[in-house]
Amino acid sequence: MPEMDDEAMYLVHAHLTAALGAAVPDDAAALITGCAGAGEAVEHVVVHRVADSNLVVGVFLLAPSLRAAEGVAEAVCRRALATYERLGGLTFDGCQVPFVAAYYERAADPAAAGQLMPRHDPSTDNPFHPFC
């Protein structure tokens, strides 16, 4: 298992389709979260209905690479679908880290200031604490 310093937080979107008339349980996110194995570092799961029969499961997890993150998210979702009869009306369609267009548009903009996030205040122990 890689050390924590070698891991990054990823948001992986798993795409599921509900069979015609299939109900999605209110606790689907908890069921999926509960199927994370030891060492899979799943931090949080959310479920969003994006169309009548389409769902997106957002899996937030720590992993050493994007490929590893997508693999863990897929394994956890498939495990949940196989484990819980209440999720039996769902099929797994794939997963991927979502493309964040605004980030890449700004990165590619030659007129942009060059920083993709605010400068940090080095006087604190928190590397994410911005100057105020």
- With tokens 């899979």, the residue in question is 40
pLDDT tops 90 at residue 6: no
pLDDT tops 60 at residue 118: no
Domain boundaries, the chain: 4-98
Q: Mean per-residue pLDDT for 19-37?
A: 93
Tokens of 81: 């679908």
The answer to whether 92 and 16 have CB atoms below 8 angstroms apart is: yes
Model confidence pLDDT, tens digit, residues 44-84 = 999 998 887 899 999 999 999 999 999 999 999 999 999 99
pLDDT tops 70 at residue 130: no
Give me the chain's average pLDDT, please.
84
Q: What is the pLDDT of residue 121?
A: 61
pTM as predicted: 0.73
Distance CA 80, CA 33 (A): 8
Looking at residue 90, what DSSP letter applies? E
Q: What is the pLDDT of residue 29?
A: 96
Q: What is the pLDDT of residue 129?
A: 56
Q: Higher-confidence residue: 127 or 44?
A: 44
Q: 3-class DSSP state for residue 127?
A: coil
pLDDT tops 70 at residue 117: no
Among the four given CATH numbers 3.30.70, 3.90.1570, 2.60.40, 2.120.10, the one describing domain 4-98: 3.30.70
